[in-house]
Amino acid sequence: MDDWLTVEDLRKSARQRVPGFLFDYIESGSWAETTLAANRSAFTDWRLRQRVAVDVETRDLSTFVLGQKRPLPFGLSPVGMLGLFHADGEIAAARAAAAFDIPFVLSTMSICSIEDVARIAAEPFWFQLYVMRDRNFTHGLMDRAAACGCDTLVLTLDLQIMGQRHRDRRNRLGASPMTPRQLFQVATHPRWALGMSRTPRRSFGNIVGHVAGLDARASLAEWTARQFDPSLDWDDVRRLRDRWKGKLVLKGILDVDDAERAVACGAEALVVSNHGGRQLDGAPSSLEALQAIVASVKDRLEVFFDGGVRSGQDAVKALCLGARAVFLGRPMAYGVGAGGQSGVERMIEILRTELDLSMALMGQTSVAGLDRSALLGPAAAPVRQYTVG
């Protein structure tokens, strides 16, 4: 564990421990993966302003998220199939989030069910909803989440249709029975296989047992792919808003006009996100979209951010550009794959330390006080003059 000094260290550990076709599922973006790459490169366009001789002895990383004071400006994004990267991965991540008092968002496509996580969760967790064609099933998920004490629903809007991820197609992810190559990868990861053999949770816990006649892996993969509802529109979002009595967060907003609609339909928050570059390839990076959305919605709702954050220095940039909190997708998945709960705890610790020390070196003492003036932006880069001839 002392070897885990960076998120990249956790990524390397996860790559060793998790069978290749599952690790590829974490890593992949859609089509040519340009948006996936842009999510990372956007951070290098911004520089941190180094300020000196400022008293930074006392520093405060806390922030208010949906009206609740949290010690850190972080959250864990919903990630499907966490429980296949490590046995009971969702429970591990929920426990790690609770240890740091940050929000954990359970995916609709989790392996551990809402009820499994609720049984161990000391703190209320958030539930992420995909709207399925079968609206009774969709409403049932909402009711189950409410019954389990989830006070916040994260409604994902950027996956009405699945973006194609070539690596998953080539690996035949979801094939049943498993392909010889997948079986070989499982066999050559005995520690992972042993862990998985000890848990009963190996399929989509929120779905299996809740849809009549659905149990075999083949029919499950097919059912799921058919169920994402391409007809979802803002009237549906408003109806879901009326139905859900808790707080509503709209995830997958990348455009100012959609952010305005999120305000109009009464959401408490939105997440600027492009699904980690897994949906519309060619869309802007999350960081590029952030500033305009913050400027447009101002204080009418809270703006959260995810996409490409791999360090505290990345996180501080998103916070300076107006994010209320920064959510972590792949960094959490690497933590789960590397070591379950301890891997995710280490990931949060790494980011906390990097954020804290970077802020100190920037002469900044509180997350609440961060703004654009703490950065040197792309506009500050010298403009090169080219002359012809």
Ligand X SMILES: Cc1cc2nc3c(=O)[nH]c(=O)nc-3n(C[C@H](O)[C@H](O)[C@H](O)COP(=O)(O)O)c2cc1C
Distance CA 39, CA 276 (A): 7
User: Which phi-psi region, left, alpha or beta, contains residue 32 (left: φ > 0; alpha: ψ -120 to 50)?
Assistant: alpha
Residue of this chain nearest to ligand X (CB atom): 329
Q: Is 251 in the site for ligand X (CB under 6 A)?
A: yes
Tell me how far apart the alpha carbons of residues 325 and 315 are, in angstroms, rounded to a whole number: 9
Residue type for 284, please? P
Question: Should residue 204 be labelled a site residue for ligand X when binding is judged by CB under 6 A?
Answer: no
From 9, 116, 306, 314, residue interacting with ligand X (rule: CB under 6 A): 306
Question: Does residue 329 touch ligand X according to CB under 6 A?
Answer: yes
Taking the least distance from each CB to ligand X, the nearer of 21 and 25 is 25
Residue selected from 39, 63, 313, 341 as contacting ligand X according to rule CB under 6 A: 39
Residues 331-370 close enough to bind ligand X by CB under 6 A: 333
Whether residue 166 lies in the annotated active site: no
Comparing CB distances to ligand X, the nearer of 63 and 311 is: 311
Q: How far is the CB of 80 from ligand X (least distance, A)?
A: 3
Only one of the segments 5-13, 42-50, 139-147, 324-332 lies at the binding site for ligand X (rule: CB under 6 A); that segment is 324-332
Q: Is the dihedral of CA 163, 273, 104, 308 positive or negative?
A: positive
- Considering only residues 264 through 283, tell me which ones interact with ligand X, judged by CB under 6 A: 273, 275-276, 278
25 touches ligand X (CB under 6 A): yes
Task: Enter the DSSP assignment of 58.
Answer: S
- DSSP lists the bridge partners of residue 75 as 327
The count of residues interacting with ligand X (CB under 6 A) is: 24
Q: How far is the CB of 335 from ligand X (least distance, A)?
A: 12
Give dist(CA 210, CA 222) in Å, integer: 16
Q: Which of 10, 22, 26, 42 is close enough to bind ligand X by CB under 6 A?
A: 26
How many C-beta atoms lie closer than 10 Å to residue 266's C-beta?
12
Options 330, 341, 350, 367; binder of ligand X; rule CB under 6 A:
330
- Confirm if 124 and 150 have CB atoms less than 8 A apart: yes
AA identity, residue 176: S
Among 188, 118, 180, CA closest to 151: 118
Structure-block tokens of residue 232:
């979802």
Site string for ligand X, 147-176 (x = CB under 6 A): ---------x--------------------
Rule CB under 6 A: is residue 75 a binding residue for ligand X?
A: no
Residues with Cβ < 8 Å from 142, sequence gap 6 or more?
Answer: 127, 129, 153, 240, 243, 244
Question: Counting Cβ atoms within 10 Å, is residue 177 exposed (0-12), middle (13-18) or buried (19+)?
Answer: exposed
CA atoms of 194 and 259, how far apart (whole Å): 45
Residue 92's CB is within 10 A of a number of other CB atoms, namely 26
Q: With contacts defined by CB under 6 A, name the span among 73-81, 201-209, 242-250, 350-358 that binds ligand X.
A: 73-81
| DSSP SS3 for 248 | strand
Question: Closest separation between CB of residue 351 and ligand X, Å?
Answer: 11
Closest approach, Cβ 302 to ligand X, in A, equals 16
Q: How far is the CB of 40 from ligand X (least distance, A)?
A: 8
**Would you please indicate which residues are annotated as catalytic (active-site) residues?**
275
Footprint of ligand X on this chain (CB under 6 A)? Answer: 25-26, 39, 77-80, 107, 109, 128, 156, 251, 273, 275-276, 278, 306-309, 328-330, 333
